[in-house]
Structure formats: structure tokens, C-alpha cells
């Protein structure tokens, strides 16, 4: 892809996964009761953020009634509440909330992508679906030339990032073990790992607010902050 605009259009029009296309569209048609008056996005969700980002954040996939509804990564769900609060606290966003695509949110020095671009059943994309979506990670990798750090949210995102680096950079033949706050550096590529801010992790205490803020404090140290 030669530009972010071209990449966004390619992602939004993708219909390659026979399981995900009808699922995301059915969710958009039936809707959730509290959002019954809203027009759902119901398509693959492009990345979002600063094209000159130093921090590239890679999540798992859009939530059925989050990104699949709003059309923006980590927007309109509890995971996004955690993410954007932290991005704002550490200088990467102009506001701490992300409600919809027209809410005025802007990222500074950060860009958000995902291992899979369609909402999957049970939040579990298959290996084939992840392979199909890998070309979009590769395209973001090539376009985000100012990156200093890749933040992988969860083990699946970490594995997707590692495979992206296998295709585009110099890395060991097999991935290291994922762990919260683990860091890896290969040449100019640097990865920081974190548990995903899913309800399963935040409501059980596996990921606390203090642990989460440590991730972004470290990200700010590595990247030098949002920059200008």
C-alpha cells in the first residue's frame, strides 16, 4: 500500500473470510438493545492514529459492539475506556475517551492496529483468519516509518506482531514467551508486551490499573513521548 488512505479503503472493503463476513454483518443488523438506534459500521476496521507514530499498538480484533459498531479501533467498549484513558494520561491522546468516530479524539505519536480487522465470534479469530489479515499488519509496518516501539496487547497480538517481523525484519527463528511487561529488541525493532485490557482481565484483577499504567509509562520512556 502506498498510503494510509489506500490501506483504509482496502481494509474496509475486504470480504475474504467466509466466517467473519456474515458474522459481523449479522451483528450490525440485529444490534444490541442499548444501541438499537445506531447505524453499525459492520465492516473490517482500519487502523487509527498518527501516521508519524512512534508507538504502534496492536490489539486482537474489533469488539462486536465496539469497533464493529463504531468503525474505529477500541472505540465504544470497556477495553477502549482503559486504552484511551492511558493514552491521554501519558500524552498520546488529546482526550481520555473514545465514543464514536466524530468525538474529536486525536492521537499524538501513536497508531492503533489489530491482528484481525473483523469482529470474530467469541473474540477468537482462527489461524487462517489471522493469516488472511496479516497483510494489513505488514502494510502498517511499512507505512509507520517513525515507529520506535510496538506494543502488543495480548498473546495473540504478540504472535501476530512476531510473524509480521519475521516477514519484514530480522528476528530469531522462534518467538520468545509472551509475558506482561516483557520487552524484546531485534535490530531497530522493539516490542513491549501487555495483557489485553479485556473485561476478562480487568474485572478479574489479572490486569490492574497500576499494571496498565506501568505499560504506558514504559512506552513513553522508550518512544520519548508523543513528540511534535
The answer to whether residues 17 and 118 touch, using CB atoms and an 8 Å cutoff, is yes
How many C-beta atoms surround the C-beta of residue 121 within 10 A?
13
Distance CA 13, CA 49 (A): 20
pLDDT of residue 168: 96
Reported as a single tens digit per residue, the pLDDT across 131-162 is 999 999 999 999 999 999 999 999 999 999 99
Bridge partners of residue 113, in order along the sequence: 58
Q: What is the CATH number of domain 4-223?
A: 3.40.470.10
Residues 183-200 as b/e (b if ≥16 CB within 10 A, e otherwise) read ebeeeebbbbbbbbbbee
pLDDT at 9: 97
CA distance 176 to 216: 21
Mean pLDDT of 122-136: 97
Burial class (CB in 10 A: 0-12, 13-18, 19+), 213: middle
| pLDDT, tens digit (0-9, with 9 covering 90-100), for 187-227 | 999 999 999 999 999 999 999 999 999 999 999 999 998 77
Q: What's the confidence (pLDDT) of residue 2?
A: 80
Output the CA torsion 210→211→212→216 (10° steps). 100
pTM above 0.95, yes or no: yes
Determine the pLDDT at residue 228.
56
The pLDDT score that the predictor gives to residue 19 is 98
For residues 156-175, give the mean pLDDT: 96
What pLDDT sits at residue 226? 79
Query: Helix, strand, or coil here: 90?
Result: coil
Mean pLDDT on 106-110: 98
Domain ranges of the chain: 4-223
Average pLDDT in the chain: 97
Amino acid at each position: 500500500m502506498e498510503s494510509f488512505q489506500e490501506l483504509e479503503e482496502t481494509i474496509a472493503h475486504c470480504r475474504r473470510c467466509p466466517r467473519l463476513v456474515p458474522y459481523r454483518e449479522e451483528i450490525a443488523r440485529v444490534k444490541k438493545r442499548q444501541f438499537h438506534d445506531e447505524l453499525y459500521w459492520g465492516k473490517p476496521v482500519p487502523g487509527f492514529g498518527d501516521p508519524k507514530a512512534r508507538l504502534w499498538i496492536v490489539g486482537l480484533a474489533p469488539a462486536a459492539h465496539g469497533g464493529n459498531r463504531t468503525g474505529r479501533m477500541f472505540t465504544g467498549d470497556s477495553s477502549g475506556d482503559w486504552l484511551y484513558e492511558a493514552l491521554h494520561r501519558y500524552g498520546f491522546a488529546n482526550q481520555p475517551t473514545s465514543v464514536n468516530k466524530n468525538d474529536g479524539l486525536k492521537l499524538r505519536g501513536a497508531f492503533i492496529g489489530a491482528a484481525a480487522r473483523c469482529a470474530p465470534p467469541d473474540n477468537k479469530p482462527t489461524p487462517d483468519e489471522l493469516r488472511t489479515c496479516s497483510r494489513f499488519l505488514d502494510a502498517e509496518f511499512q507505512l509507520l516509518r517513525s515507529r520506535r516501539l510496538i506494543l502488543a496487547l495480548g498473546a495473540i497480538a504478540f504472535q501476530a506482531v512476531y510473524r509480521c517481523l519475521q516477514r519484514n525484519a530480522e528476528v530469531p527463528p522462534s518467538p520468545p514467551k509472551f509475558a506482561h511487561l516483557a520487552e524484546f529488541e531485534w535490530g531497530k525493532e522493539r516490542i513491549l508486551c501487555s495483557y489485553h485490557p479485556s473485561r476478562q482481565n480487568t474485572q478479574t484483577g489479572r490486569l490492574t490499573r497500576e499494571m496498565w499504567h506501568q505499560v504506558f509509562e514504559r512506552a513513553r520512556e522508550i518512544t520519548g513521548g508523543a513528540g511534535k
